[in-house]
Amino acid sequence: MSLITLVNVNVRLGGRTVLEDVSLALEPGEIVTIVGPNGSGKSTLLRTIIGAIKPSGGTVLRKKGLKIGYVPQKLHIDPTLPLTVRRFLSLPKRVSNDAAHAALHDAGAGHLCHHQMTDLSGGQFQRVLLARALLSKPDLLILDEATQGLDQPGSADFYTQIESVRRDKGCAVLMVSHELHVVMAASDRVICLNGHVCCHGTPEHVASAPEYRALFGNGTHGALALYRHEHSHDHCDHDHAHQIGAHQIGEHAHEDQSA
Amino acid sequence: MSLLDDFMVRAILAGLGLVIAAAPLGCFVVWRRMAYFGDATAHAAILGVALALAFNVSIFAGVLVVALIMALAVSSLNGRGFAMDTLLGVMAHSSLAFGLVAVSFVHGVRVDLMAYLFGDILAVGRSDLAVIWVGAALVSGLLYWRWSALLTATLNPDLAMASGVSPKREQLILSLALALVVAVAIKVVGTLLIAAMLLIPAAAARPFARTPERMAVIAMVIGGIAIFGGIEGAFAFDTPTGPTIVCVAALLFVLANLVRVLRTYSAR
């Protein structure tokens, strides 16, 4: 059974129709990415799925007992608030030390337990947010622009982590991103959104769809193959991943020209 | 003769009661950048004093109601066309002005406004003491009960929503606690210095804390020292008590930050 099914969902916010006739279903264990230009309703769609927004039409069906782990966009923590990573994981519900360590390990942040949240780098911070989302043992992990502010190797690293989490935990992943090339390569399915579902399917299918090209042009699709390779699980291995990516960008760019 | 017959003992107990409630609440005021919010609520208290005198109800009740209305108004007006600081400025100063005008209409009672602006901790009686401690117990109980939810909502509203915590409800609880503290503190330090007792101990505690809980506890200790030192100092130097307490707190703040600077300097 699908984890979440949306049937002809309409959302109006402040008198403006943001989502129109959106239908989609999420299956257990798959990675789905939503892409779309600014203002296309990506975040609204996520918030509708979480339940923070009530649709004005259509239905949202959730599997019974569905647990959702949510990784927000970059979270600002005021420097006046002292907060260790360990304490952060226990908000709002207290978790055991074992559970906290396991979640940090799964998110690739095992060594950060006693750091202050405000001392973390962008990539470390997102890993801690991921660890927090994993604590509830979710069936579905939702990431809203989770790599905003990370450089390309950093975000590629992060998505590698997401893939390994999916493999180990078997949870489905739904994410929104601007970084088409990196994200789409890590996905099983891509949904291209612009108020309505423009097109959807495998990354390759979407990238070559005329609707997608009308929105994003041809420029980005060359980088599609980025990171679609057997990667090691060493998280420090930025350079390796980056080089292969750059190499493949080159190849595709070449193909584009010849086509 | 019991211990409570001594006005100095009553003053110190009143101050400690205030600190127990104000220090942890002040941490939230600092974390959420609500410094002006405390100010505005405190200024509105003068209007509460005037109304209480006019309608012949207890000062505590009048201040509590007006501070609560003020807190709720600001919470609900937030984000509707005006920046928060503008909104708070307008409401704080106009409610203070309306309060002063309203006091002048109250006939027959000679109102010593200074007592409400600056408080008179040395004049605290047994019944005041009871009110202060009951209020302090209510506020700290409320904060203890909602602590995790309040922290989550302070971190990020969306994160709170996803964890089943309503940020709006937590904001309401904080407003309620703030109104209670203002109503309790008006006798001790007066409306002009309430915000100081919320902010300064919390700000002074920040350099020594690694977790939110520890910051609240350290803020309580610093506030307690300020109360004790302020009352003793005022007695020794014959200075007004409320302001002396705030002066001691301010000195502790400077000291704490000197320690922080020295520590980062020596860590290099």
Cβ proximity of A46 and A37 under 8 Å: no
Q: Token pair 């750091």 is at which residue?
A: A115
CA distance B217 to B18: 14
Nearest to B58 by CA among B5, B118, B135, B121: B135
- Which residue on chain A is closest to B203 by alpha carbon? A80
Provide mean pLDDT across the span B156-181.
84
Give the closest-approach CA distance of B87 to chain A in angstroms.
22
Instruction: Tell me if A92 and B152 make a contact (CB, 8 A cut-off).
Output: yes
**Exposed e or buried b per residue across A27-52, where buried means at least 16 C-beta atoms within 10 angstroms of its C-beta:** eebbbbbbbbeeebbbbbbbbbbbee
Instruction: Tell me if A92 and B155 make a contact (CB, 8 A cut-off).
Output: no
Which residues have a Cβ under 8 Å from the Cβ of A214 and sit 6 or more positions away? Answer: none
Q: Tell me, what DSSP letter sits at residue B5?
A: G
Most confident of B36-40, B97-101, B185-189: B97-101
- For B99, the enclosing helix (H) or strand (E) is helix B84-105
Distances (CA, A) of A199 to A191, A194, B186: 6, 10, 63
Residue B58, classified by CB atoms within 10 Å of its CB into exposed (0-12), middle (13-18) or buried (19+), is exposed
Instruction: Tell me if A91 and B152 make a contact (CB, 8 A cut-off).
Output: yes
Average pLDDT for runs of 10 along chain A of length 259: 89 87 90 86 87 86 86 82 91 86 86 89 86 88 82 80 85 82 76 87 81 69 41 41 39 39
Give the closest-approach CA distance of A73 to chain B in angstroms.
10
Instruction: Tell me if B151 and A70 make a contact (CB, 8 A cut-off).
Output: no
Task: Catalogue all structural domains in chain B, each as residue range(s) with its CATH number.
Answer: 3-192 (1.10.3470.10)
Query: What are the two backbone dihedrals, phi and then psi, of residue B257, each rounded to the nearest 5 degrees?
Result: -75, -30
Give the closest-approach CA distance of B160 to chain A in angstroms.
8
Task: Catalogue all structural domains in chain A, each as residue range(s) with its CATH number.
Answer: 1-67+141-152+172-216 (3.40.50.300)
pLDDT of residue A183: 67
Q: Tens digit of pLDDT for each residue in B44-73?
A: 888 888 888 888 888 888 888 998 888 888
- Which residue on chain B is closest to A77 by alpha carbon? B155
Tokens representing residue A186 in the block: 């890590």
Residue B265, classified by CB atoms within 10 Å of its CB into exposed (0-12), middle (13-18) or buried (19+), is exposed
Cβ proximity of B234 and B120 under 8 Å: no
Q: What is the ipTM of this complex?
A: 0.80
Instruction: Tell me if A82 and B206 make a contact (CB, 8 A cut-off).
Output: yes
- Which residue on chain B is closest to A136 by alpha carbon? B163
Instruction: Tell me if B209 and A82 make a contact (CB, 8 A cut-off).
Output: yes
Instruction: Tell me if B203 and A80 make a contact (CB, 8 A cut-off).
Output: yes
What is A10-53 written as a DSSP string? EEEETTEEEEEEEEEEE-TT-EEEEE--TTSSHHHHHHHHHTSS
Instruction: Tell me if B163 and A93 make a contact (CB, 8 A cut-off).
Output: yes
- Which residue on chain B is closest to A50 by alpha carbon? B162
Q: Which residues pair with residue A32 across a beta bridge?
A: A174, A189
Using a CB–CB cut-off of 8 Å, the residues of A that contact B are 50, 52, 68, 70, 72, 75-78, 80-84, 87-88, 90-94, 116
Distances (CA, A) of A259 to A211, A223, A255, B231: 19, 16, 6, 85
pLDDT of residue B164: 78
**Contacting residues of A for B201, CB less than 8 Å apart:** none
Give the closest-approach CA distance of B256 to chain A in angstroms.
14
CA distance A89 to B235: 48
Q: Tens digit of pLDDT for each residue in A22-75?
A: 999 999 989 998 888 888 888 889 888 887 788 998 999 988 888 888 887 777
Q: The dihedral of CA A175, A180, A186, A192: what is its sign?
A: positive
Cβ proximity of A108 and A127 under 8 Å: yes
